[in-house]
A and B are shown apart, each in its own frame.
Chain A
Amino acid sequence: MKLTLKIWRQKSKNDKGKFVEYILDGVDGDMSFLEMLDFLNEKLINEGKEPVAFDHDCREGICGMCSLFINGQAHGPDKLTTTCQLHMRRFKDGDTIVIEPWRAEPFPVIKDLVVDRSAFDRIQQAGGYISVNTSGRTVDANTIPIPKKDADRAFDSATCIGCGACVATCKNASAMLFVAGRIGHLARLPQGRIEAADRVQKMVAAMDAEGFGSCTNTGACEVACPKGISLADIALLNREFIKAHL
């Protein structure tokens, strides 16, 4: 198929950036979205032009590196799908596709479609962990019985890959779903309960300090999340936050 691509090009963090239009012929429906960009880049390199920079790594929906705002939606039009899992058969011959980087103040564009998501790492470091003695006398986690229901829910929250689609799609650029995934993972497990009050306060403070917006419960994050992290985790975060202050 033949596509018109409108891609955001920006040389560096301080460059103003602009959309550049490319006509790409010969795109196959079996290509993934990222393979389609590889195909474009091969063409650009052959023409002696600068290829389009974009983030990717595993290309199987588990690492969270791929991003891209595609035709107005994070990771494109499909639910529960990362950009690397999106296939070109989802588009039609003659389509115009607008491709933009994640837009949020705490995610500055580094180059073209690549943004700096290290703000997430700093939120994680503020409290997204449990403190255990790893001196060699570590108790096996399985010695603590956990109801299957809780273990399953904690695991669901832990499937967050930190891609940032929640922030990208939220009209407020809020990181609440990301933080709530961390809280939802650890607050449901006995190992995580010990530092629960401290964790929620530190992570919320870190989230604010990074400059993310505040949640208004629109639910856009939940729809955009490729891993299906639920708004129920944001309610849990709020609950943990209130508990920590009582």
Chain B
Amino acid sequence: MLKTSVAKKITMALSGLFLVVFILVHLGINLTLLLPGKETFEKAVHFMATNPFIRIMEPILFIAFIYHIIMGIYLELTNRSKRSVGYAKYDGSAVASWASRNMIWTGLFVLLFLIFHFYNYYIPFKTGHVESHYDLVTGLFDKWYYTLFYVLAFIALGIHLSHGFQSAFQSLGVPREKCLRFLKISGNIIALVVGLGFSIIAIYFYFN
């Protein structure tokens, strides 16, 4: 079944939506950083590290990420090969949104961020030499260039989702006549919440 372009696109949508659920949970945990005291965040981290359901979901999340990235790049490359002689003049903005035309670039920027994110947080978290998770997370925002990179990455993800969320439901065949307005609005809200939510945390700790 995975042979056809339509089936590939459906798996792209499923992996994408799974990542959306993950990112919303992740945001929920991170927002506890803004609560007074360090305990709530430490408790939330402890909960995530010990909860059996989350432990089962972690490898699945890994697979979803890797699948989404590889399939996204693969589809982009094959689609590019379908027009070996390009147009001298092509007015892309007249027919489609910037976000929809640049999914690969917003995606790749998020990937670049993920690599740093792994190096800075995930590996220290997992290797277990962390005194305070709170200090590790907030400490990196001391540097302006890290904060800026972080904010840009989440703006990119917000743009990715402003098209991606609605697009995923289209790929899954949800009737457009009935649901388009709802999906577009909720997609934009999710994009905004994710983009702003993570950015606000970073900016808050840069100034405090």
Contacts and interface: CB of A to CB of B under 8 A. Distances in A.
Interface string B66-89: 000000000100110111111111
Nearest to A97: B89
B177 interface: yes
A48 to B, nearest CB: 27
B81 A105 contact: yes
Interface stretch (A23-31, A33-41, A140-148, A204-212): A204-212
B95 A173 contact: no
Q: Which of B75, B91, B95 gathers most chain A CB within 10 Å?
A: B95
A105 B9 contact: no
A235 B174 contact: yes
A51 interface: no
A208 B91 CA distance: 26
B20 interface: no
Contacts of A204: 4-6
B170 interface: yes
Interface string B18-53: 000000000000000000000000000000000000
A125 interface: no
A171 B175 contact: no
A77 to B, nearest CB: 8
B177 A232 contact: yes
B55 interface: no
Q: Which of B6, B10, B87 gathers most chain A CB within 10 Å?
A: B6
A12 interface: no
Given A208-B5, A235-B170, A242-B173, A98 B78 contact: no
Contacts of B92: 171, 220
Interface in A229-246: 230-232, 234-242, 245
Interface string A82-112: 0000000000000000101001111000000
A245 B2 CA distance: 11
A172 interface: yes
Contacts of B172: 238, 242
Contacts, number: 139
A118 interface: no
Contact of A213 (B82, B167, B174): B82
Given A204-B4, A232-B176, A235-B175, A215 B9 contact: yes
Contact of B4 (A169, A205, A224): A205
B134 to A, nearest CB: 40
B199 interface: no
Interface stretch (A66-74, A128-136, A189-197): A66-74
Contact of A72 (B4, B5, B90, B167): B90
Given A100-B88, A232-B177, A173 B82 contact: yes
Given A71-B91, A72-B87, A213 B103 contact: no
Q: Which of B3, B9, B86, B172 gathers most chain A CB within 10 Å?
A: B9
A235 B100 contact: no
B79 A238 contact: no
B5 A218 contact: no
B190 to A, nearest CB: 17
Contacts of A240: 173
A228 interface: no
A238 B14 CA distance: 13
B8 interface: yes
28 contacts: A69-B90, A72-B87, A72-B91, A73-B94, A98-B89, A104-B82, A105-B84, A171-B96, A213-B79, A214-B6, A214-B8, A214-B75, A215-B6, A215-B171, A216-B167, A217-B166, A218-B100, A219-B95, A219-B97, A224-B95, A231-B176, A235-B173, A236-B175, A238-B10, A238-B170, A238-B173, A239-B173, A239-B175
